[in-house]
Amino acid sequence: MNAETLKGRSLLTWLDYSAEEIRYFLDLSHRVKQEKKRGENRQRFTGKTIALLFEKRSTRTRCAFETAFGEEGGHPVFLSTQDIQLGAKESVEDTARVLGRMFDAIQFRGFSQKTAETLAEHGGVPVYNGLTDSYHPTQALADLMTLEENFGTGPGKKLVFAGDGRNNVARSLLVISAKMGINCTIITPAELHPDAELMASCREIAAGTGAELTITADLGAAAGADAVYTDVWVSMGEESERERRISLLKPYQVNQALMDRTGRKDSIFLHCLPAVKGEEVTADVIDGPQSRAWDQAENRKHTIKAIMLATMGL
């Protein structure tokens, strides 16, 4: 693959990228992590700027973008909805046109996927989706990186997600798994199945890569899993659904009993964080020896750095 094909491109969803391109991002992610461990200071973003637009609060996404960009010599500028007129007194299109003339790249973390698409259409610079209600692509790349650190590269691994099957993390895992030949199982109640349109797209992709995609309510589907993954039961913006969601998802809590259903002592636990211990996961699992949630959190930084380096042609 010619790295030039990545230069100038936005990352809104992994649907827009080939398996070969995702492999390039993953290889680069592993490389920059090793550079960091060796204490190498490359300063590849010197003279570059990035606008970080946040409608939603963040710990890992904000810290990953700011530290990855800043330690390479670049200047990240954080902009919340309290700071700029995003979609208020100024249209998203006009905001994109202005920021694209002042910054080398834009990150957006917010509600609507359409906002990210509009920024990319009118900004003229790479736009990175730091999370929308539809997709969380930078998280999914860190998830695969963590999976590879424990089980090696290559297709055929089994990733099980238990919880809200239509949230942005589950949707992104389906997409990237289909692309990379990962067998992805979503264990979720019928009311929270991923939408049919996305599943049709993912199954079409999976037909070419050999990935097996399964949607089920059966906890027994965790058998043989390399990794068991969960996310909070109530996503940002859905707080009014809290009581109903907890009642619906309580049977799908990741506890030691569910981890034992894999039938493997080397299975790992993943969580995109923040976690509500005692709800979607028990403390003994996320804080226990099978948990890789903290490696996963660190890998947000390395994967985001790799994405920016590749798409900015550095």
Q: What is the pLDDT of residue 87?
A: 66
Is 168 marked as a binding-site residue? yes
For the chain, the helix, strand and coil percentages under 3-state DSSP, each to the nearest 5: 45, 15, 35
Is 255 marked as a binding-site residue? no
CATH homologous superfamily, domain 3-135+300-311: Aspartate/ornithine carbamoyltransferase (3.40.50.1370)
Helix axes 196-209, 168-180, angle to 10 degrees: 20
Is this prediction's pTM over 0.85? yes
CATH homologous superfamily, domain 139-296: Aspartate/ornithine carbamoyltransferase (3.40.50.1370)
Q: What is the pLDDT of residue 234?
A: 86
Is 137 marked as a binding-site residue? yes
Is 67 marked as a binding-site residue? no
Q: What is the pLDDT of residue 81?
A: 84
Regions in the chain scoring below 70 on pLDDT: 87
Active site residues: 109, 136, 139, 231, 272, 300
- SS3 at position 130: strand
- SS3 at position 183: strand
Give the model confidence (pLDDT) of 194-210 as tens digits. Answer: 999 999 999 999 999 99
Q: What is the pLDDT of residue 89?
A: 81
Q: What is the pLDDT of residue 85?
A: 73
Residue 302 CB partners (closer than 8 Å, separation 6+): 29, 30, 32, 33, 36, 68, 142, 145
Query: Which ranges in the chain are annotated with CATH 3.40.50.1370?
Result: 3-135+300-311, 139-296
Distance CA 85, CA 91 (A): 8
The helix (H) or strand (E) run that includes residue 184 is strand 183-187
Distance CA 150, CA 222 (A): 18
